[in-house]
Amino acid sequence: MSTLYDIPVTTLAGQNTDLSAYLGKVLLIVNTASQCGFTPQYAGLEALYRNYKDKGLVVLGFPCNQFGRQEPGNSTEIATFCEKNYGVSFPMFAKVDVNGPNAHPLFVRLKADAPGVLGTEGIKWNFTKFLVDRNGVVISRHAPTTTPEALDESIAPLIPV
């Protein structure tokens, strides 16, 4: 069985890669959108990233246009929006589907490893967050209503002192 790190992804700049660069890191993987009520969470995600990046946390953003078409922009527009409005410096990837027949394999894996309420796998909205430990094990899934700040107590134990 392949690991999370073997799953092919495409960066926002269009480079094909995988997640192997993040082996040994704690990951917070989030489906994002620029025109969502939860979009201000970019600021909190960036704050988490800056606070913990030197200790091994990486936030990975995956724009998604499946919910209310709240991410209509192309890669350049998304990158500009995130940097200009929220100072996003964490890695962002190409737009993906997270549900349905075209769901990206990463999100298929995340949903299987951390089902939602009552065992449902479908992602309900943008800014659903998956916390992955240093070994690539999905530790938890957090609803869009869970703010990045509220994740601090889940992330801290995974970060070495």
- Catalogue the active-site residues: 36
Q: Which of 29, 61, 58, 48 has its CA nearest to residue 153?
A: 48
Q: Which of 137, 133, 105, 109 has its CA nearest to residue 121?
A: 109
User: Is residue 153 within a helix (H) or strand (E), and if so which, with residue range?
Assistant: helix 152-155
Residues 43 and 37: beta-carbon distance below 8 Å = no
Cα separation of 54 and 37, whole Å? 30
